[in-house]
Amino acid sequence: MSNVKSLRNWSLTLVAIAAMSYGLYHYKSSEIEAMSAQVQPEFPEPVDAMMAKFVDYKELIKVPAEVVAPDAVMLTSELAGKVIVMNLENGKTVKKGELLLQLDISEEQASLKTAQARVDLARAELKRTKALSKQQLASVNELDQKIADIKINQAEVDRIKAIISKKTVKAPFDGVLGLHNLSVGEYLATNSEITSLVANRGHVWIDVNLSQTQARLLSDDTLQLAINGQVQPLYAEVIAKEPIIESRSRSLKHRAKLVLDTKANLTPGEFIEVVIKQGHAVPMIELPKQAVLRQQGTRYVYVLVPEAGKAGQYRVQRRDITLFQENATDSFIQSGLKEGEQVVTNGAFKLYPNKLVNIRQTQVTQADANVKG
């Protein structure tokens, strides 16, 4: 009998515990539902935007090019001699006419004094001969001989001065010296290389060889530079081209001028690439590169849709696009967008579909910026 009573008590206890658990569960569920029912405020994400607009796009291709200095020479010693004066500082900037190197000219200077003395003597003799000729005490032949003596001796002076000039190396133009391994007292043989001199003209030439087809399809005289494979915001203007195609490579050399600034850190002789435009213009939508997002093999952008009842706020919609080509700064879109649609640029990476945003700044295309400038 006691066992039955004990079992009944345990049963009542379990039922009471189950009832309390259910009541607590129901209470908490109701509380969570009530909290969920409360509408949390949604704050817009600030982004930059740009209106999609068609631009005239031309096919871009990369071709090798070389940086060439407008004026660059290798200074050499035209004659042999010992170095007695040297003003060659590695990498130094020099002015036109500045003395760079002097070979020993002591023998030539002595010879010059002798030759100059002979010229002075010949002039004195000519003066006396002219005086005698007026008194008919000197023949015409004697007068001609004295004139010839002056010319012969003067020619010898000029010859010695020319030798001295060849043993005196001066800067032919303003520029920057290269490196050297010379020392005072060193003997230089004829035509020995001294150092290089590169003019600082504020610009360099960009030489590029185009194939016959590339030269024929070239549609723009502006070349954009690509350094280490990356397209840069540096542009060179074509100023000339060879009048004839090179027979072995069947290419036509074009020369462009690049104005140097802080962005263009180029060294003459450096090999780079240039981007050239070819063919006819095709309408493409141009957007900043950061506006185009990637997911596996898909390219997409976020388009702004006005939020009803909230002025200045928008919802974003993902729009898959067909990307035709891109460079270091811009993307050119073939399809997927309509002209006039507003597209998120800066800040697109942190968005997701249907996200609320507001416009922080409206950007313009590079083409519009060039027109305004």
Protein fold of 105-166? Helix Hairpins (1.10.287)
> What is the torsion angle, in degrees rounded to the nearest 10, for the CA atoms of residue 195, residue 196, residue 200 and residue 204?
-160
Six-digit token pair at 149?
A: 């003596």
Kindly state the DSSP code that residue 78 receives in the 8-state scheme.
S
Q: Return phi, psi of residue 63, to 5°.
A: -135, 150
What are the mean pLDDT values of the chain's consecutive 10-residue runs (373 residues total)? 60 70 68 58 87 86 92 93 94 94 95 94 88 79 87 94 95 93 94 92 91 85 86 89 90 92 80 87 89 91 89 90 84 91 91 90 56 43
The pLDDT assigned to 365 comes to 55
The pLDDT assigned to 311 comes to 83
Task: Pick the closest to residue 350 from 316, 321, 312 (CA basis).
Answer: 316
Pick the CATH number of 45-56+282-372 from 2.40.420.20, 3.40.605.10, 3.90.1170.50, 2.60.120.10: 2.40.420.20
Transcribe 291-310 into DSSP letters.
Answer: G-EEETTEEEEEEEEEPTT-
Q: Quick check: 349 and 300 in contact, CB under 8 A? A: no
Residue 201 CB neighbours (<10 A)? 16
Burial of 111 (0-12, 13-18, 19+ CB in 10 A): middle
Using DSSP's 3-state secondary structure scheme, residue 323 falls into strand
Q: Where in the chain is the domain with CATH 2.40.50.100?
A: 77-104+170-198
Model confidence pLDDT, tens digit, residues 11-54: 667 766 777 776 676 666 666 665 555 556 778 889 999 999 99
Task: Pick the closest to residue 285 from 298, 273, 299 (CA basis).
Answer: 299
The domain 61-70+200-281 belongs to what CATH superfamily? Efflux pump adaptor protein, beta barrel domain (2.40.30.170)
User: How far apart, in whole angstroms, are the C-alpha atoms of residue 128 and residue 90?
Assistant: 57
Domain 77-104+170-198 listed as CATH 2.60.40.1220? no
Q: Where in the chain is the domain with CATH 1.10.287?
A: 105-166
The pLDDT assigned to 371 comes to 42
Model confidence pLDDT, tens digit, residues 215-238: 888 877 889 898 888 888 888 999
Q: Quick check: 302 and 317 in contact, CB under 8 A? A: yes
pTM: 0.59
Instruction: Specify which residues 208 forms β-bridges with.
Output: 65, 254
Beta strand pairing status for 356-363 and 45-51?
Answer: parallel
Instruction: Specify which residues 316 forms β-bridges with.
Output: 304
Q: Where in the chain is the domain with CATH 2.40.30.170?
A: 61-70+200-281
Residue 306 CB neighbours (<10 A)? 12
Q: Which amino acid makes up residue 195?
A: T
The pLDDT assigned to 10 comes to 64
